[in-house]
Structure 1
């Protein structure tokens, strides 16, 4: 028996893979896009903001570690079925298959300032009553429905990747917020992420059928730097969390926010591991140990 198969290059080989990452222009999506592109994959990054996508491709698509890697911008609104159809057709004209789809796009839409221990029924009612139906619908449309239809649009290309020993992977980016019992001041977001985790389970069950042969798993991240957690990106479309006492304040045993490498390692593992089906992998620095 050869030991060669245990080398890092073999265990995490994504050379010449085709990857699609929604929300790939910034934050967690960009981390994942870089992980695949720097290891030889052609990565299509999806988003509504063409300028952001182009800037990411120009900034991070040059001088990649692997000569075969590419970051390719493709404008797409995942809440619009016609836009998703155009995206699938465009990729289908250039590629015969998609090896990995990462559904990463997400929005939050505000928060509620209710504190645990506040025993005023009136205050609780007033705060929660201020929530807007439209914002709940917008969050659900992106974080759940958008992930569903993006996956459905690409089923033929994902299925086309199948061969003995290799099946395509769908990785949904959910959140620890869909697991914790605390509202974290944003009910709508947490409910949507709980739904996204269950969506992953349902899709895993449906897409595993012999005629499709696609694996579905999800990553539930903790606090990572992104436009959602910091409200901004720098000139490289990267966000930063650098706050004294942050870990103690947030109750994160790891003592820091998540890094690019933390997310890249998780995404590559679920993409290449052909024995992973229907799993929720929480990469959250121990947050859920402090906030069950």
Structure 2
């Protein structure tokens, strides 16, 4: 008889994960959730990020459950660096249970304005001030990197999905071999007080990429799913910090609060475990109901 015990359904103990952008914000929330529940996390971040300090923190968190972390510096905007990353992981692991492709950037126009109230001249000047390379870099990190990471790590993910686990079952039956891509609720609406055009467009492309990759990898049942977080504390969105450009919008969220680590980690634990093993090719919006607001009513 199948066990419906929550400890069985959401069990990730002993599983192996790669988390990009794992040293801060949403990536760190996910890494903590995995390690505290007994998973092994390869934390991937820029060489300039505090990888060693975060890994030390994660290993302390994982002491009771056997969870652990190891840091790997990598610039995921480079295809060559992604290849090197996959080679390092392949030398250490024969299978990879999950890729949390989370790293992202946001580039706002240097000449800012309130999009909802600016004059035509102010709006034009602000939008034109965004350097062209900021658009290119945004897509390189927020969209293209997910594509190449999924390809580079596909053999390890497929091996995890196909791994025999007893009783005629395979890893895929427990949710192993899954890619979780971090998008944003910005991909799903078009009105805010800040010009997020390059960011939101890259995230909309990411949402469709989830479907495209899921269709390509379905023969191996390497699942591809996405999450679309709303206001969640991060370096990109310092919730509660003085001068936060989104501060006037926080009370518009039906939940009347920002997202927290429980919201993000809980969603990911569902998607990567037995509980979410039948979920593929879709994205889950985790934004406290903000997307339910009609465009223009923010």
Give the TM-score, by structure 2 length.
0.87
After TM superposition, list the pairs within 5 Å mapping 1:1-292 onto structure 2.
1=1, 5-49=3-47, 52-64=50-62, 66-111=64-109, 112-116=112-116, 118=118, 120-163=119-162, 164=170, 165-166=173-174, 167-183=176-192, 184-209=194-219, 212-230=220-238, 241=240, 249-272=250-273, 273-292=276-295
Superposition deviation, residue 250 in structure 1: 4.5
Partner Cα distance (2:60, 2:271) in 1: 26
Partner Cα distance (1:85, 1:41) in 2: 24
Superposition deviation, residue 98 in structure 1: 0.6
Contact 1:247 1:253 in 2 (8 A): no
Per the alignment, residue 234 of structure 1 pairs with none
Partner Cα distance (1:172, 1:22) in 2: 10
Superposition deviation, residue 84 in structure 1: 1.1
Change (3 A) 1:89 1:249: closer
Contact 1:44 1:71 in 2 (8 A): yes
Superposition deviation, residue 91 in structure 1: 1.0
What is the DSSP-based 3-state SS (H/G/I as helix, E as strand, rest coil) of the residue aligned with 1:106?
coil
Partner Cα distance (1:134, 1:241) in 2: 30
Q: Deviations over 1:75-125 (max 9, x none)?
A: 11111122111111111111111101011100001245243255x443333
Superposition deviation, residue 147 in structure 1: 1.2
What is the DSSP-based 3-state SS (H/G/I as helix, E as strand, rest coil) of the residue aligned with 1:258?
coil
Superposition deviation, residue 60 in structure 1: 2.5
Partner Cα distance (2:61, 2:200) in 1: 38
Question: What is the number of residues matched between the two proteins?
Answer: 278
Change (3 A) 1:72 1:121: same
Q: Extract unaligned runs of 5+ from structure 2.
A: 163-169
Between stretches 183-192 and 84-93, larger displacement belongs to 183-192
Contact 2:113 2:123 in 1 (8 A): no
Partner Cα distance (2:49, 2:132) in 1: 31
Superposition deviation, residue 213 in structure 1: 2.1
Change (3 A) 1:54 1:256: same
Per the alignment, residue 165 of structure 2 pairs with none
Superposition deviation, residue 178 in structure 1: 0.6
Contact 1:182 1:291 in 2 (8 A): no
What is the DSSP-based 3-state SS (H/G/I as helix, E as strand, rest coil) of the residue aligned with 1:162?
helix
Give the TM-score, by structure 1 length.
0.89
RMSD: 2.1
